[in-house]
Chains A and B, each alone.
Chain A
Amino acid sequence: MKTTGDILRDADPLRRELDRSGQARDRLRHEVIAAATSVHSSSSPLLPKRFSVLAPLVLVVVGLMVGIQLWPRENATLQAAVRFEVRLATEESTPGLEEARVGNSDRVVYLYDEVIVTNEDIAHATVVPGNDQSQFSIEVQLTVAGAQKMRAATAMYLGQPLAILIDGVVVTAPIVRAVIGDSAIITGDYARVDAERIVDGIVGR
C-alpha cells in the first residue's frame, strides 16, 4: 500500500525535468545579476531609503529639508557659492565636539571637525527628479580622490551617522550601513529653482 510520500515521489516533476535546467539556470543567472547591477547603479525609487541597502557607489541622503535660509549666507572666502561638506558625526553627546541640529528635526548630532569631502571633491552635480513632480533631488558625483576618501571613511564608520552640511548647516545625517562610493543623491523636497541654485553653486571652482 502506497503512502502519501510514495505517491508524491512518483508524481514529482523533478524526476522527469532535470535535463532542461542548465540553460534556464544560466539565463536566469544573467538576468538576476544584470538586475542587481541596474538597481544599484540607478537612483530608482525602488531603492530603500537607508545606507544599509545601497550599492557602494551610491549614497542616498533621505529626507533633506532645506529651507531657503540655508544658502543666502554666502562666504566670500569660499571658492564655491554653496559650501558642501560631509563630516563624521556621533549621536552621543561628546565634550569638545560641535553640537548640530539635523535639518528641521529635533535630532542632534555631534560633529567631528575633520571634513571627509568638500566642494573640491565634487566632480559635478545635477538636478534629478524627486519623489513627485514638484520635488527635485540633487545628484552629486565625487571625484576619484573624493570617492576614495568617502570609501575609506565610511568603511571604518559603519553604524555611525554621516553629516551632510550645506553652508555649514547639517541638512541630514543618515547612519552609514555600507561602504559608500563616488556619488551621492541628496533626495528631498526641493523646488526646482532651489535645487538648481545648489547645483550651480556646489561645484568647487
Chain B
Amino acid sequence: MNGRPLVRALPVTVADEPADRLAALFDAHYDRLYRLARRLTPAADDALDLVQDTFLKAARFPASVPRGLTREEAWLVRVLINIRRDEWRKQEVRRRYHRAASPLPEADGADQEAAFIARATVWSALDALPPRRRAVVVMHELEGLTTSAIASVLAVSAVTVRWHLATGRRALARVLTRVRPGATP
C-alpha cells in the first residue's frame, strides 16, 4: 500500500456557501440584468420575473456559473435571453392572433396621449422580434455596445450579431414607419 495519510494532512477549507455566492452574483449583476430584462419584456413585472428566473437558474446550477465578473455577466445574460426565448415561443401563437385581430393604433404625436400610445406601440413592436435579436438591437441601440462586445457576451460571431441587427432594424422599421412616418432604420 502506498496510501498516504491524506486526511490528517489536509487543511480545513472554508466552503463557498451557495447562498453567499448567489448574494454576490445578485449584488454585482442585478442592475445590469434588470435593465436588459426590462427592455426585453412588455412590462416591469415581466422583467422582474425574468431576472428572478435567471438567478434561480444560477441557484440550481451554481457550478455552471463561471468565475469572474465578465464571465458571470455573460453567463447570466445568456441564461436570461434563453429563458425569455422560451417564454416568447409559448406566447407567439397568442400574439399572432392578437396582432391579426388588433391592428396597431395610428398615432400622430400631436398630444400627450398620442405620444404615450406611440411609445407603447414602439415598445410593443419590439415584441415581434425573437428575444435574441431583440437583445442584440437593445444592447446596440440602447446600451451602446459594439457588435464585437455583443458577440462576446452572447458567445456568437460578430457576423451573426450584425445579421441580427440588420434583420431586427428592418423588422422594426416596418412597424415604426406606421407609427412615426419620419422614422428611418
Q: Which residues of A contact B (CB under 8 A)?
A: 1-5, 7-14, 17, 20-21, 24-25, 28-29, 31-33, 35-37, 39-40, 46-48, 50, 52-53, 55-57, 88, 94-98, 111-114, 116, 148-149, 151-153, 155-157, 177-179, 181
Check A28–B18 contact: CB distance below 8 A: no
Check A32–B59 contact: CB distance below 8 A: yes
Taking the complex as formed, is B156 at the interface, i.e. its CB lies under 8 A from any CB of chain A?
no
Check A14–B39 contact: CB distance below 8 A: yes
In whole angstroms, how far apart are the Cα atoms of A187 and B180 in the complex?
62
Residue of B nearest to A36 (CB): B59
In whole angstroms, how far apart are the Cα atoms of A55 and B126 in the complex?
40
Check B13–A179 contact: CB distance below 8 A: yes
| Cβ contacts A to B, 11 pairs, < 8 Å | A11-B123, A14-B39, A28-B48, A36-B59, A55-B18, A112-B4, A112-B6, A113-B3, A155-B12, A156-B6, A179-B13
Q: Which of B35-78 contact A (CB under 8 A)?
A: 35, 38-39, 44, 48, 51-52, 55-56, 59-64
Q: Which of A21, A37, A46 contacts B19 (CB 8 A)?
A: A37
Taking the complex as formed, is B23 at the interface, i.e. its CB lies under 8 A from any CB of chain A?
yes
Contact A156 B55, CB 8 Å, known A4-B184, A8-B142: no
Residue of B nearest to A47 (CB): B60
A56: chain B residues within 8 A (beta carbon)? 15-18
Q: Which of B22, B123, B185 contacts A32 (CB 8 A)?
A: B22
Check B51–A28 contact: CB distance below 8 A: yes
Check B2–A96 contact: CB distance below 8 A: yes
Interface residues on B, range: 35 or more
Contact A28 B7, CB 8 Å, known A1-B182, A56-B15, A152-B13: no
Check A114–B3 contact: CB distance below 8 A: yes
B52: chain A residues within 8 A (beta carbon)? 28, 31-32
In whole angstroms, how far apart are the Cα atoms of A95 and B22 in the complex?
43
In whole angstroms, how far apart are the Cα atoms of A106 and B42 in the complex?
54
Check A4–B60 contact: CB distance below 8 A: no
In whole angstroms, how far apart are the Cα atoms of A156 and B9 in the complex?
10
Residue of A nearest to B13 (CB): A155
A33-B19, A37-B19 given; 4 more Cβ-contact pairs under 8 Å: A48-B63, A113-B3, A156-B6, A179-B15
Check A20–B44 contact: CB distance below 8 A: yes
In whole angstroms, how far apart are the Cα atoms of A181 and B18 in the complex?
13
B27: chain A residues within 8 A (beta carbon)? 29
Contact A113 B1, CB 8 Å, known A36-B18, A179-B16: yes
Check A152–B59 contact: CB distance below 8 A: no
Q: Which of A33, A35, A53, A116 contacts B62 (CB 8 A)?
A: A53
A3: chain B residues within 8 A (beta carbon)? 183-185
In whole angstroms, how far apart are the Cα atoms of A52 and B11 in the complex?
21
State the 5 A-B residue pairs at the shortest beta-carbon distance, nearest first: A56-B15, A155-B13, A11-B122, A36-B59, A113-B3
B19: chain A residues within 8 A (beta carbon)? 33, 36-37, 40
Taking the complex as formed, is B150 at the interface, i.e. its CB lies under 8 A from any CB of chain A?
no
Check A148–B39 contact: CB distance below 8 A: no
Contact A2 B183, CB 8 Å, known A36-B18, A181-B15: yes
Check B63–A53 contact: CB distance below 8 A: yes
Check A151–B15 contact: CB distance below 8 A: yes
Contact A96 B13, CB 8 Å, known A1-B182, A53-B63: no
